[in-house]
Structure 1
Amino acid sequence: MDKKIDVQEFTQKPLSKINESSWNKETYDAWINRFGTPEECAERLLRNPHKALSVLDNYLGDVKGKRIMNLMGSNGIKAVALSIMGAEATVVDFSHGNKTYALNLADAAGAKINYILSDILKLQDEDLWNSFDIVFAEMGIIHYFTDLVEFMSICHKLLKKGGLFILRDFHPVSTKLISSKGSTAKVRKHKVTGDYFDTSLQEKAVAYSKYSQEDTASEKVYLRLWNLGEIITSASSAGFIIKTLTEEPNLSSESYDKGIPKTFTLTATK
């Protein structure tokens, strides 16, 4: 059972330290278990870089020659795919293991990416401000921040005037409200057991732990699960002009959760 913690017990600084520490354990080997060696992963990317971008590919357009920032870009798969397609891709992430896998992947693919090892909120290089055509974050990133406006403001500062911001993430209805039980589609049951307006931090196993052969189950991260209203308001408060909000069903072949929003994609401009 996930542990809940009053958000007032943590400020962003100690929370980031805990989460960063968890993400600096065994990540490289976990990605090899999940995606294969950098050489194996690179071979797949070179065959079809668009596939690695998934839904994002529908929003990015022609990326050739564009400067693109992938916030908390983890193992670099999206950034390397973008580089193969002709973009100048940059990743910001605080995990050494993620950076090592990403750079090895880029080398194996004959691609070039920039990888900044840093907490997003600690970015100090003013040359980065107002310099990217596209800034994007996806799948669980925003929940690492206790002040979402602060995160959105960094995204806004990175983006050129007229640039595109893309946020794709798990839908709050699925992360905050609905719980599921059962291991197969035939027996899977959904119940509304959560609190959509809960502001507490959730203690959860670090995401890569299911791919690690080491005992990483004890590695925890603390997440603030935001609802949709908070996300949109934070983006607007940071200065973004909201363009679209697309709520998405489960894109897999499973049908047991048909009708439940699983992810969303928000686009905005500066």
Structure 2
Amino acid sequence: GSCGKKAIPLAVLGAEVTIFDISERNMRYALETAEAAGVSVDFVLGDVLEPDMEKYGGFFDVVFMEGGILHYFHDIGKFMEVMHSFLRPGGRMIASDFHPFQKVMDIMDFEQPVTDYFSTEIVRGEMAHARFYPEEIRKQFPMCEYRKYTMSEIINAVIESGFLLKRFDEYPAWTDKRYPGEFTILAVRDANVQNATGE
């Protein structure tokens, strides 16, 4: 959910939106911006991997994430299981993220560490947008720990959590169109398929 930069426009278009994020500052920004836009959004402050499933299990028509979040979760299987559990049968997950090619080449100029494509190590680096700030502000951002996945790890986590994979698309990097920069996955919670937890 972050600061609501996608959730608030969806609310303006008429969607009922719930944002999950761990940052209190993001919550404050999102709620103030939503109020200024004349819409309301729900904001759940906390770890999305520990949601209130009595309230949110099978609750949503769509779960949506974009702009580089998967690498913040060190257990992508658990993350995808939670996303699957959020959805009603027939609900859709849309995941748009940075391409795992970023592991071996900083093609998007994020100034983040690169590594072996098949590495499973946790790497430490800045948030992707930190480079846009003056140096004195940039130094104030906390460092993050990333688990950068291969494409097969991402796709298999989607499938193994019980989703029916409907579409997978890759897009060129905006810095050099010869290389992959982003991807989008569309998956559905099939009423006839169970995930690893039997849901």
TM-score (norm 1): 0.64
Match of 2:180 in 1: 261
Q: Work out whether residues 205 and 217 of structure 1, in 8 Å CA contact, stay in contact via their aligned partners in 2.
A: no
Letter aligned with residue 126 of structure 2: A
Mapping of residues 71-220 of structure 1, within 5 Å: 73-173=1-101, 175-179=102-106, 194-212=115-133, 215-217=137-139, 219-220=142-143
- Structure 2: 5+ residue runs without aligned partners? 190-199
Q: Work out whether residues 107 and 179 of structure 2, in 8 Å CA contact, stay in contact via their aligned partners in 1.
A: no
Cα shift at 1:212? 4.9
Identical pairs, percent: 37
Q: Find the aligned partners of 1:122 and 1:260 in 2 and give their Cα distance.
A: 36
Cα shift at 1:179? 3.9
Deviation digits for residues 151-185 of structure 1, max 9, x if unmatched? Answer: 00000000110011011110111x11224599xxx
Q: Work out whether residues 107 and 181 of structure 2, in 8 Å CA contact, stay in contact via their aligned partners in 1.
A: no
Cα shift at 1:146? 1.5
Letter aligned with residue 92 of structure 2: L
Question: Residues 122, 258 of structure 1: CA spacing in aligned structure 2 closer, same or farther, 3 A cutoff?
Answer: same
Cα shift at 1:220? 0.4
Higher share in helix: 1
Q: Find the aligned partners of 1:160 and 1:114 in 2 and give their Cα distance.
A: 18
Q: Find the aligned partners of 2:12 and 2:38 in 1 and give their Cα distance.
A: 8
SS at match of 2:31: helix
Question: Residues 194, 210 of structure 1: CA spacing in aligned structure 2 closer, same or farther, 3 A cutoff?
Answer: closer
Q: Work out whether residues 179 and 194 of structure 1, in 8 Å CA contact, stay in contact via their aligned partners in 2.
A: no
Give the RMSD, CA atoms, in angstroms: 2.0
SS at match of 2:32: helix
Question: Residues 110, 238 of structure 1: CA spacing in aligned structure 2 closer, same or farther, 3 A cutoff?
Answer: same
Q: Larger deviation: 134-143 or 199-208?
A: 199-208
SS at match of 1:167: strand
Q: Work out whether residues 61 and 87 of structure 2, in 8 Å CA contact, stay in contact via their aligned partners in 1.
A: yes
Question: Residues 194, 125 of structure 1: CA spacing in aligned structure 2 closer, same or farther, 3 A cutoff?
Answer: closer
Q: Find the aligned partners of 1:101 and 1:150 in 2 and give their Cα distance.
A: 28
Q: Find the aligned partners of 2:65 and 2:107 in 1 and give their Cα distance.
A: 26
Match of 1:231 in 2: 154
SS at match of 2:62: strand
State which structure, 1 or 2, has the greater radius of gyration over its C-alpha atoms.
1
Q: Work out whether residues 243 and 267 of structure 1, in 8 Å CA contact, stay in contact via their aligned partners in 2.
A: yes
- Structure 1: 5+ residue runs without aligned partners? 1-72, 183-192
Cα shift at 1:208? 4.6
Q: Work out whether residues 108 and 181 of structure 2, in 8 Å CA contact, stay in contact via their aligned partners in 1.
A: no
